[in-house]
Chain A
Amino acid sequence: MADNLSLEVVSPQGIIFGGNVDQVTLPTSNGAITVLPHHAALFTKLIEGEIEVVEQGKRTSYVIAGGFFEMNNNKASVLSDYAIRAESIEMAKSEEKKRQAEQKLREKLTNEEFTIADKDLKMSILELKVAQKVRRRQH
């Protein structure tokens, strides 16, 4: 217990991850940071990217679409719009999402629609990248 920090990854789809971890690497707006147990109280903004969790020496990855990170009293929480475990990313689904977003971007769009499509595209590319990386690690 002494060398752990408790981490929660929460998104509107529910609690994606919860447990004691050795360390966690997060994509912040100032670059990636790694948080170790007993880190000072910290509050920061996350950008879309990959979260890497080390739990008992095992690495797992999550993809998030931006959000906030808070650490206090050795309790860390990641709050994000969207979060998915790298293993549960379905390549085909992400490909489809990417294709759709690209097609949408080609059409004439209002500002709001453009932002949504752009974000979708970024997310799907990111998902694909992380999924590939995880797969490579396993083989």
Chain B
Amino acid sequence: MAQNLQILLRRKKTAQNIAQIARAMEMISASKIKKAQSEVVANKPYADRITKLTSSIIRHIDTDQFNHPYIFGNEAEEALVLIISPDKGLCGSLNTNLFKRIFEIDNKNLKLIAMGRKASQFSRRLSGELIAEFNIGTTLPPYGTVYQLIEVINNEYIGGHVSSFKILYTEFTSMFTQAPVLKSILPIEMPNLPTAVSLRSQPGSLPLAGTGGQSAPLPYIFEPKIQDLLSELLPYYLEVILYNSLIEAYTSEQAARMVAMQNAKNNALDIADYLTLIYNKSRQERITNELLTLSSRV
């Protein structure tokens, strides 16, 4: 009995220790997430607009007249996927859900870029070829990270080694929901609209206001030439999308870790409470037993 009490006491202390560590991790994530979340919220409208603008511009031009590689895919068999994951675990089911997603697509002809240590560990086990790996770090990824990624992507994509480029990351919707998404980035998808208005629009003619609304595309005036504009816009589009995915993935990680650690802390405290109760009960039992033995002797 005496030994039992010792063990109970030790287990209780372990549970309390774990609760303390979990609480510390929760607080670290909570402080990091504030900054990250505001960054994501501020960046989202920008990324949305750039995406919308790019697709609306592409819709308005006669795409036969130029062949920017970002618009047209190539014949290569393999696809390039960038996986953005945390460097560390202990963030609930975030990593599991993320990696489950890759099995849903055909993972035979894949080339992989891993951003985050968990992603590189996972990618090594896949049949695809891991061509580059980066660490995401424990602070908000700086904008410069994007350029390293773009270099690798351009090498593969413009070099014609891969036919498409996708990003797999965890989208941050709220503190409690983060879902893995697989986004097709390149080639830039054409909106399914039949009319590609010629780029030689008449600058003199004014569009009639109120005709057709959004669905009837008005001819754009491009200044300077559309070719020059596109060669600026498209790489920029890629940059913005990549950066947005990076910070969303990072924010999701912190949010997931915060919630996971909160749960871990609560569970550990529950166990500690339960063990305290047992410990007190068995101690009382032992005292009662001793008293009984004493009184029976008298």
Q: Which of B27-35, B118-126, B201-209, B282-290 contacts A (4 or more CB under 8 A)?
A: B201-209
Q: Which of A5-13, A86-94, A118-126, A127-135 contacts B (4 or more CB under 8 A)?
A: A5-13
Interface size on A, residues (CB 8 A): 25
The smallest beta-carbon distance between B68 and chain A, in angstroms, is 15
Q: Are B57 and A45 in contact (CB under 8 A)?
A: no
Q: Helix, strand, loop or mixed for chain B's interface? A: helix
Is residue B222 within 8 Å, beta carbon to beta carbon, of the partner chain?
Answer: yes
Q: Are A40 and B42 in contact (CB under 8 A)?
A: no
CB neighbors of B among A1-31 (8 A): 8, 10-15, 28-30
Checking A28, A41, A68 against B218 with a beta-carbon cut-off of 8 angstroms, the contacting residue is A41
Is residue B233 within 8 Å, beta carbon to beta carbon, of the partner chain?
Answer: yes
Q: Are A73 and B220 in contact (CB under 8 A)?
A: no
| Complex interface bits, B210-228 against A, C-beta within 8 A gives 1, otherwise 0 | 0001100011111110001
Q: Which of B44-52, B101-109, B271-279 contacts A (4 or more CB under 8 A)?
A: B44-52
Is residue B229 within 8 Å, beta carbon to beta carbon, of the partner chain?
Answer: yes
Roughly how many angstroms separate A28 CA and B232 CA in the complex, as a whole number?
Answer: 14
Q: Are A10 and B46 in contact (CB under 8 A)?
A: yes
Is residue B190 within 8 Å, beta carbon to beta carbon, of the partner chain?
Answer: no
The smallest beta-carbon distance between A1 and chain B, in angstroms, is 12
Interface size on B, residues (CB 8 A): 32
User: For residue A67, which residue of chain B has the nearest CB?
Assistant: B236
Roughly how many angstroms separate A74 CA and B233 CA in the complex, as a whole number?
Answer: 22
Q: Are A79 and B221 in contact (CB under 8 A)?
A: no
Q: Are A10 and B207 in contact (CB under 8 A)?
A: no
Roughly how many angstroms separate A27 CA and B214 CA in the complex, as a whole number?
Answer: 27
Q: Are A74 and B209 in contact (CB under 8 A)?
A: yes
Is residue B76 within 8 Å, beta carbon to beta carbon, of the partner chain?
Answer: no
Residues of A within 8 A of B207 (CB): 40-41
| Complex interface bits, A38-64 against B, C-beta within 8 A gives 1, otherwise 0 | 101111110000000000000000000
The smallest beta-carbon distance between B229 and chain A, in angstroms, is 6
Question: Assuming A10-B49, A73-B214, A112-B147, is B232 touching A38 (CB within 8 A)?
Answer: no
Residues of B within 8 A of A10 (CB): 45-46, 49
Question: Assuming A12-B43, A44-B229, is B224 touching A72 (CB within 8 A)?
Answer: no
Residues of A within 8 A of B56 (CB): 70, 72
Chain A residues in contact with chain B, CB under 8 A?
8, 10-15, 28-30, 38, 40-45, 68, 70, 72-74, 77, 79, 112
21 contacts between A and B (CB under 8 A): A12-B42, A12-B43, A12-B240, A29-B224, A40-B207, A40-B219, A41-B220, A43-B220, A43-B223, A43-B229, A44-B222, A45-B224, A45-B232, A68-B236, A70-B53, A72-B56, A72-B218, A73-B209, A77-B53, A79-B46, A112-B147
